[in-house]
Amino acid sequence: MTMPILQLKNIVVAADQQNVEQTKILKNLNLTINSGDFISVLGTNGAGKSTLFNTIAGLLPLTSGEILLNGQAINHLSPEKRSRQIARVFQDPKLGTAPRRTVTENLLLAKHRGQRRTLKPRHLKQQRHEFTQLLATMGNGLDQHLDTPTENLSGGQRQALSFLMATEKRPELLLLDEHTAALDSRTSTQLMRQTNQVVTTQQLTCLMITHHLEDALKYGNRLIILNAGQILLEISGEQKAALTKQTVLTYFG
Residue 117 pLDDT level (bands cut at 50, 70, 90)? low
In a domain, 160, yes or no: no
Q: What is the mean pLDDT of residues 99-123?
A: 75
- For residue 129, give the 3-state DSSP assignment: helix
In a domain, 85, yes or no: yes
- For residue 8, give the 3-state DSSP assignment: strand
In a domain, 202, yes or no: yes
- In 168-230, where does DSSP find H-type helix? 185-201, 213-218
In a domain, 166, yes or no: no
What is the CATH classification number for the domain harbouring 226?
Answer: 3.40.50.300
Distance CA 207, CA 224 (A): 10
pLDDT tens digits for 48-59? 999 999 999 999
Using DSSP bridges, classify how beta strands 206-209 and 173-177 pair: parallel, antiparallel or unpaired: parallel
In a domain, 208, yes or no: yes
pLDDT tens digits for 159-173? 999 999 999 989 999
Which stretches of 98-217 are assigned E, i.e. beta strand? 173-177, 206-209
Q: What is the mean pLDDT of residues 90-101?
A: 93
Three-point CA angle 239, 27, 51, nearest 5°: 85
pLDDT tens digits for 135-149? 999 999 999 999 999
pLDDT averaged over every residue in the chain? 92
Residue 118 has pLDDT above 70, yes or no: no
Asked if residues 24 and 13 have their Cβ atoms less than 8 Å apart, the reply is yes
Q: What is the mean pLDDT of residues 107-117?
A: 74
In a domain, 221, yes or no: yes
Q: Count up the domains in the chain and report the number.
A: 1
Closest CA relative to residue 159, chosen from 129, 114, 194, 132: 194
The domain of 79 spans 6-93+173-252
Asked if residues 60 and 39 have their Cβ atoms less than 8 Å apart, the reply is no
pLDDT tens digits for 203-247? 999 999 999 999 999 999 999 999 999 999 999 999 999 999 999
Q: What is the mean pLDDT of residues 105-130?
A: 72
Amino acid identity of residue 115, one-letter, is Q
In a domain, 136, yes or no: no
In a domain, 26, yes or no: yes
Q: What is the pLDDT of residue 126?
A: 72
